[in-house]
């Protein structure tokens, strides 16, 4: 079995490449995805290999990109539109929410929307305004959408292939902070990582820490630091936020009886609230401490001089976990 | 005849590429002409310094504007102080002409919240990074001015790529329907990152889109500062006049080129040829105006040198001021979310302060 050491963004490219080779119906479209290979190089070389009909530089219009993708998907193609940054997805919001998410429902199954909307999300790269948001909760709130956020190169390729093959629309959010942070062996051939399954990144008995995307690495670092103090964290990377792997969440919580959630999105209305509700509903009698939410603040994402304060840092995560353990 | 009465496919020029007069010059005093020249030189130098600050890690991603000085300076010069300017993210020169200090622009790109605060005395709206979103704002503000009976013009900048967004259509359509005093100024620099102008629209020109909204559209040589000034000045005058029998909005398409990268994070060699860049460099607005001003006796070596020295000093002072600003306090994240700080935000700020006290700032800051 051959494999290469890839970064996360290279794994995105590899996943797209694999599916474009497998299935002629897969088409990639968006701003600067063609000749330029994407502003993060996530589609590098695809234009040369598959041509301008399948790797399409579109006019600068997100509603147009996603709206036409929905039409293509309904017609039988498998479009993979790219939104250049998550902060620029809003012109397409109406199309995603009012149509992609409910085309199957509204047409009683006559029309479907097998589309993957890819977008880099999240902060920490000293980017300009509107380039750092994490608004996954908007999409998780919408029934009819699947929402995926990988945190490793291996998972990225496998989850992306699953998303492309999925019969329903998927919002695939890529943690751009760790696009090039590390490499991992990624098999050359096709493989899938199933949607809707969390991964335990670190087993531990004292406290469950639920997280995803770029926060997984910071959380792991905090967990290792805490291990030296004798606190044994179980780190669960959710990988798919909708549908959430409730079983994995509940199983871990039953073991530890304590939980923290780490996400970079604002606290209010963020997924930490949903996870808290799940453990309340499913495992109340196991609970030994309030669930701690270690999140971004309820403020607009600041310009970058303040972003290190905004994002959950190792120190903040350690502090939050200690609160749970010492309760 | 007003230049606005020309067909949208007829490009207006006053100075040709060699700096020869080929059209009627606008009425500008010698001092004003030299001031336009100085602002363009300042913009070019500022741009080079900003790119170099970014390269040295002293500033974040920055969108350069060289090549686009004539369009920005010529148009902003056509405003009176009471008129309003709605920028995108590349209008460093236009905003400077209309009263935004250079250090403010530097601070914004250095990631300071204070860089986002336009000075109270400058009628300049906040920078708009999401493409085309400022267009309906400019229409709305202009509309409000008519409801109040104010006679101001509203100049709104955006790129060629922006004309593909729904907000462009909606903003211009409202302007036509409500006859708002808005001048829509498209900096058509041929590229939206890597996507060429022809990929944005199958229309022959951007200016001609105005016809469909029911108002004037005009294409101007955007690398000719005098033509830009003249066209914008007439559009602004028409916008301000509620009694004119023409509709008040205008779409100006300023045809130009960005010499540099889209931003410091972009590598244009991937998508465009050096020959193309060189061809457009031949239209460089600065030597063009300089030649004209020298040949008409308004500039000489001595004045040119003095201008060069003064702009270098002005830019250095702005860099010093911006770099002298201390790192913003985390409180700035919370303080302007609402008029009053809600309890939940106060608690979050207190939590952060407690953690900073306990662990020290170095555990938060990555560099
Ligand atoms: C809604 C939205 N989509 C995408 C982007 C990313 N982006 C930033 S600038 C740019 C190209 C803009 O081109 P144009 O309108 O021609 O202006 P220019 O940058 O050339 O001045 C893109 C796609 C954005 N800022 N906003
Ligand atoms: Mg452009």
Read off the pLDDT of residues B31-72 as tens digits, 9 standing for 90 and up: 999 999 999 999 999 999 999 999 999 999 999 999 999 999
The SS3 of residue B18 is coil
Residue A221 CB burial class (10 angstroms; 0-12, 13-18, ≥19): middle
pLDDT digits (tens, 9 = 90+) for B104-154: 999 999 999 999 999 999 999 999 999 999 999 999 999 999 999 999 999
CA distance A164 to B285: 49
Q: Does A91 touch chain B (CB under 8 A)?
A: yes
CA distance B356 to B245: 63
User: For residue B1, what pLDDT is reported?
Assistant: 65
- By C-alpha distance, the chain B residue nearest A31 is B195
In percent, the amount of chain B with pLDDT more than 90 equals 94
Answer yes or no: do B345 and A299 touch at CB < 8 A.
yes
In percent, the amount of chain A with pLDDT more than 90 equals 100
Indicate the pLDDT class of residue A1, thresholds 50, 70 and 90.
Answer: confident
Strand runs (DSSP E) across chain A, as ranges? 3-6, 26-30, 55-57, 78-82, 116-121, 146-148, 170-175, 184-187, 199-202, 207-211, 233-237, 240-242, 259-266, 292-296
Answer yes or no: do A59 and B167 touch at CB < 8 A.
no
CA distance B311 to B305: 10
User: For residue B2, what pLDDT is reported?
Assistant: 78
Which of B161, B164, B166, B222 for mutating ligand 1's site (highest number of atoms within 8 Å of CB)? B161
| CB-defined contacts A:B, below 8 A | 131
pTM, rounded to two decimals = 0.97
pLDDT digits (tens, 9 = 90+) for A290-301: 999 999 999 999
Taking CA B45 as the corner, what is the angle to CA B44 and CA B46, rounded to the nearest 5 degrees?
95
Shortest-distance ligand to the CA of residue A31: 1
Residue A267 CB burial class (10 angstroms; 0-12, 13-18, ≥19): middle
pLDDT digits (tens, 9 = 90+) for A27-39: 999 999 999 999 9
Q: Which of residues 119-138 of A touch B (CB under 8 A)?
A: 124, 126-131
Across the strands, what pairs with A170?
A: A116, A146
Q: Measuring CA to CA, which residue among A162, A47, A240, A238 is closest to residue B271? A: A47
**Between A57, A130, A267, which is nearest B129 by CB?**
A130
Q: Does A153 touch chain B (CB under 8 A)?
A: no
Same fold, A3-187 and A199-325: yes
CA distance B170 to B87: 18
Q: Does A309 touch chain B (CB under 8 A)?
A: yes
Cis peptide before A243 (omega within 30 of 0): yes
Which of B131, B136, B166 for mutating ligand 1's site (highest number of atoms within 8 Å of CB)? B131
Q: Is the pLDDT of residue B275 over 90?
A: yes
Q: Is the pLDDT of residue A106 over 90?
A: yes
Q: Is the pLDDT of residue A214 over 80?
A: yes
Residue B85 CB burial class (10 angstroms; 0-12, 13-18, ≥19): buried
**Between A60, A129, A299, which is nearest B192 by CB?**
A60
Q: Does domain A3-187 have CATH number 3.40.50.970?
A: yes
Q: Does B345 touch chain A (CB under 8 A)?
A: yes
ipTM reported for the complex, 2 dp: 0.97
- Average pLDDT value for residue range A125-129: 97
| Candidates B116, B166, B335, partner chain A, best to mutate (most A CBs within 10 A) | B166
Catalytic-residue membership of B262 = yes
Indicate the pLDDT class of residue A208, thresholds 50, 70 and 90.
Answer: very high
The SS3 of residue B312 is helix
CA atoms in the 13 A half-sphere facing the CB of B20: 2
Q: Does B166 touch chain A (CB under 8 A)?
A: yes
For A199-325, the fitting CATH number among 3.40.50.920, 3.30.2020.30, 3.30.1130.10, 3.10.350.10 is 3.40.50.920
Answer yes or no: do A36 and B270 touch at CB < 8 A.
yes
Domains of chain B: 3-323 (3.40.50.970), 330-366 (no CATH)
Residue environment code for B109-125, b if the CB has 16+ CB neighbours within 10 A, otherwise e: bbbbbbbeebeeebbbb
**How far does A309 lie from chain B, in Å, by closest CA?**
6
Answer yes or no: do B115 and A303 touch at CB < 8 A.
yes
Answer yes or no: do B355 and A315 touch at CB < 8 A.
yes
Under a CB-based contact definition with an 8 Å cutoff, are residues A69 and A114 in contact?
Answer: no
User: For residue B7, what pLDDT is reported?
Assistant: 72
Rounded to the nearest angstrom, the distance between the alpha carbon of B201 and the centre of ligand 2 is: 13
Catalytic site residue from A99, A131, A141, A263: A131
Q: What number does the ligand 1 atom closest to the CA of B133 have?
A: 1
Contacts of B327 in chain A (CB under 8 A): 305
User: For residue B9, what pLDDT is reported?
Assistant: 75
pLDDT digits (tens, 9 = 90+) for A65-88: 999 999 999 999 999 999 999 999
Q: Taking the mean position of all CA atoms in its chain, how far away is CA A302?
A: 21
pLDDT digits (tens, 9 = 90+) for B336-354: 999 999 999 999 999 999 9
CA distances from B177 to B139, B171, B208, B212 (A): 11, 10, 17, 11
Q: Which of residues 194-253 of A touch B (CB under 8 A)?
A: none
Q: What are phi and psi of A232, to 5 degrees?
A: -105, 100
Pocket of ligand 1 contains residue A31 by CB under 6 Å: yes
Pocket of ligand 1 contains residue B65 by CB under 6 Å: no
CA distance A275 to B28: 66
Q: Measuring CA to CA, which residue among B250, B245, B84, B100 is closest to residue B152? A: B84
Q: Does A48 touch chain B (CB under 8 A)?
A: no
Residue A192 CB burial class (10 angstroms; 0-12, 13-18, ≥19): middle
CA distance B210 to B251: 6
Catalytic-residue membership of B37 = no
Q: What number does the ligand 1 atom closest to the CA of B188 have?
A: 16
Taking CA A179 as the corner, what is the angle to CA A193 and CA A202, rounded to the nearest 5 degrees?
55
**How far does A234 lie from chain B, in Å, by closest CA?**
23
Answer yes or no: do A298 and B345 touch at CB < 8 A.
yes
In chain A, what are the domain boundaries? 3-187, 199-325
pLDDT digits (tens, 9 = 90+) for A247-280: 999 999 999 999 999 999 999 999 999 999 999 9
Indicate the pLDDT class of residue B5, thresholds 50, 70 and 90.
Answer: confident
Mean per-residue pLDDT of chain B: 96
Tokens 């990152």 belong to residue: B193
């Amino acid at each position: 079995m051959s494999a290469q050491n890839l970064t996360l963004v290279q794994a995105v490219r590899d996943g797209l490449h694999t599916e474009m080779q497998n299935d002629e119906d897969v088409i990639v479209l968006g701003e600067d995805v063609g000749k330029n290979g994407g502003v993060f190089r996530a589609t590098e070389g695809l234009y040369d290999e598959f041509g301008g009909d399948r790797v399409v530089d579109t006019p600068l219009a997100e509603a147009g990109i996603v709206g036409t993708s929905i039409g293509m998907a309904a017609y039988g193609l498998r479009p993979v539109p790219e939104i250049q940054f998550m902060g620029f997805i809003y012109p397409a919001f109406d199309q995603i929410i009012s149509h992609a998410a409910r085309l199957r429902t509204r047409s009683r199954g006559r029309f479907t929307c097998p589309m993957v909307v890819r977008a880099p999300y999240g902060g920490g790269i000293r980017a300009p305004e509107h380039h750092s948001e994490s608004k996954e909760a908007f999409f998780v709130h919408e029934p009819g959408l699947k929402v995926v956020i990988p945190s490793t190169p291996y998972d990225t390729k496998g989850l992306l292939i699953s998303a492309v093959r999925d019969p329903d629309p998927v919002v695939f959010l890529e943690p751009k902070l760790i696009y090039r942070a590390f490499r991992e062996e990624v098999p050359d051939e096709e493989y899938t990582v199933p949607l809707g399954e969390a991964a335990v990144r670190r087993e531990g008995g004292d406290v469950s820490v639920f997280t995803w995307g770029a926060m997984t690495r910071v959380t792991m670092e905090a967990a290792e630091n805490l291990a030296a103090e004798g606190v044994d964290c179980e780190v669960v990377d959710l990988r798919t936020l909708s549908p959430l792997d409730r079983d994995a969440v509940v199983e871990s919580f039953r073991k530890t009886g304590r939980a923290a959630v780490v996400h970079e999105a604002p606290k209010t209305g963020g997924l930490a609230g949903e996870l808290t509700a799940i453990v309340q509903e499913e495992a109340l009698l196991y609970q030994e401490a309030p669930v701690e939410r270690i999140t971004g603040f309820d403020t607009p994402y600041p310009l970058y001089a303040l972003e290190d304060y905004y994002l959950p840092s190792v120190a903040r995560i350690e502090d939050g976990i200690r609160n749970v353990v010492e309760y | 005849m007003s230049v606005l009465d020309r067909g949208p496919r007829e490009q207006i020029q006053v100075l040709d590429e060699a700096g020869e007069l080929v059209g009627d010059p606008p009425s500008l005093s010698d001092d004003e002409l030299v001031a336009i020249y100085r602002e363009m030189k300042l913009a070019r130098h500022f741009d080079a310094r900003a790119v170099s600050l970014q390269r040295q890690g002293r500033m974040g991603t920055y969108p350069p504007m060289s090549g686009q000085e004539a369009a920005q300076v010529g148009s902003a010069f056509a405003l009176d102080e009471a008129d309003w300017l709605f920028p995108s993210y590349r209008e460093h020169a236009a905003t400077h002409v209309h009263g935004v200090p250079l250090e403010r622009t530097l601070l914004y790109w250095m990631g300071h919240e204070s860089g986002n605060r336009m000075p109270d005395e400058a009628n300049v709206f906040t920078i708009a990074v999401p493409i085309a979103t400022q267009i309906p704002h400019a229409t709305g503000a202009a509309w409000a001015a008519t409801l109040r009976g104010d006679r101001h013009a509203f100049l709104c900048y955006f790129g060629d790529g922006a004309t593909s967004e729904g907000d462009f259509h909606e903003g211009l359509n409202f302007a036509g329907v409500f006859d708002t005093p808005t001048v829509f100024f498209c900096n058509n620099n041929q590229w939206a990152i890597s996507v060429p102008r022809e990929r944005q629209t199958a229309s022959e020109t951007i200016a001609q889109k105005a016809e469909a909204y029911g108002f004037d559209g005009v294409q101007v040589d955007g690398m000719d500062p005098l033509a830009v000034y003249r066209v914008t000045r007439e559009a602004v005058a028409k916008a301000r006049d509620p009694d004119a029998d023409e509709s008040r909005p205008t779409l100006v398409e300023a045809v130009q080129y960005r010499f540099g990268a889209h931003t410091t994070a972009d590598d244009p060699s991937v998508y465009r040829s050096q020959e193309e860049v060189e061809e457009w460099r031949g239209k460089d607005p600065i030597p063009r105006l300089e030649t004209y001003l020298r040949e008409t006796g308004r500039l000489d070596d001595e004045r040119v040198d003095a201008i060069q020295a003064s702009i270098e000093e002005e830019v250095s002072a702005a860099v010093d001021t911006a770099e002298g600003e201390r790192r913003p306090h985390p409180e700035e994240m919370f303080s302007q979310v609402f008029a009053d700080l809600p309890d939940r935000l106060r608690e979050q700020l207190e939590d952060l302060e407690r953690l900073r006290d306990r662990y020290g700032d170095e555990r938060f800051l990555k560099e």
